[in-house]
Amino acid sequence: MFHSNNALGSRGVRVPTVSQIRTYLQAEGWESQPPGSSGTIWIRDGVMVGVPTDNDPGIAVGIVERISRQERRSAKDVALSIRYHLMDVTYLRAANDYAITDTIPFEAASTVISSARKLLRAVGTTAWNERGEIGGNYARQGDAVLRRTRMDHTQEGSFIIPILVPLSYTEELPGETHETADLELFQAAPEPFERRVTRTLAQSLMAVKEIIVEPESSPSVGDLHAVVARGVSREFCSALAKILAEPSVSEFETSFEWASSVPAPETMPDAVSIGSDASEKIEEAADKLKKHRIDSTSTFSGNIVELRHVGDDPFGFATISTVRRGRRSEIRVRLPYETYQEAVIWHRARRVVIVEGEVKHGIGRRLVVENPVGCRPIDEILLPMS
């Protein structure tokens, strides 16, 4: 049940605004009737919901409860879905069974929040242009995402901070499938840049854990190439190490809830946790990233927006939406038919891919990789040969 202080349940979920409710209803297939003087009636499957013109938290409570009955979900879950419909949410959790219970030392909270900002700012830049060291040259596109990012109220359960990244609202382009005897074609919309930033945060944390932290040996230069290609930078490692070095933090965990307005990257990790004993190893990686210039110009990543295969051609083409040299780009990758068939499966599973190979200008100045060295889902962390 909603509380009078606009909170819902133990997680403190506040009542959505009527603007958020209208956006959610439209996205979920409710049909609006001609507006009246005080509001609008929305209808779906014979169920009617009245939404007032002006924001009224008391009325909004009843609307959420009515939607929850229609959707057969709890009011708390529906409220979260409505509020976060256009937002990717990253939950940051600092844990320590002894030092962090229902409160947290102020110094530790300050470290977590300030370092989390540095994490997000770093991936805002590497989502635009992968590099091992940013050196103060932060991308204005990433900083623009950071300025729009919000922090929700902390939640119970150690120290949990919800970080909200609003997505640019665009009409979702429907995917297209066209198959004949001579042509196989799949198409999809590119991911918003804001989603690319949050996804880069998720895959960077996973790469640090699986390539830098978990192996017994120190990271090699080859390891550093692998993590930089996934969005890791010196600044990212330093900020993460600072959180883990905080005496009151024994574990740092991030979990992700993707905005329902844009198809989720389904194979990204739901959560990544790293223990405090990894801080020195991550700081060591940061030092190496400062000493070694890592060239990532031969790799790029993104979602598959088109797959095309004609007749009996032994090759097919996958088009990747990515960022190259500071510009949004679509790069066509020529794949042997066997790999192309795998790419169809990756596309259907919404798996982001990473490609290594020389990018050239093809017919019509279109960017193309004719002979990729590698093309595989970015969530398949494969340790490079040392």
Sheet with 87-95, edge to edge strand ranges: 150-151, 159-166, 87-95, 251-257, 271-275
Are 159 and 225 in the same domain?
A: yes
Are 204 and 128 in the same domain?
A: yes
Q: Are 302 and 191 in contact (CB under 8 A)?
A: yes
pLDDT bucket at 386, cuts 50 / 70 / 90:
very low
Please state which of the ranges 132-136, 155-159, 333-337 shows the lowest mean pLDDT. Answer: 155-159
Please say if the pLDDT value at position 158 is more than 80.
no
Q: Helix (H, G, I), strand (E, B), or coil: what is residue 267? A: coil
Please say if the pLDDT value at position 4 is more than 50.
no
pLDDT at position 189 is 86
DSSP symbol at 259: -
pLDDT at position 13 is 63
Query: Of 291, 325, 341, which residue sits at a domain end?
Result: 291
Q: Is the dihedral of CA 277, 279, 284, 286 positive or negative?
A: positive
CATH of the domain at 351: 2.40.50
Mean pLDDT of the chain: 87
Please say if the pLDDT value at position 179 is more than 80.
no
User: Which residues touch 110 (CB under 8 Å, ≥6 apart)?
Assistant: none
CATH of the domain at 23: 3.30.160.90
* Domain span including residue 204: 87-170+191-291
Write out pLDDT tens, residues 258-293. 998 888 887 787 899 999 999 999 999 999 999 988
Q: Helix (H, G, I), strand (E, B), or coil: what is residue 262? A: coil
pLDDT bucket at 180, cuts 50 / 70 / 90:
low
Between 37 and 331, residue with greater pLDDT: 331
382 occurs within a structural domain: no
4 occurs within a structural domain: no
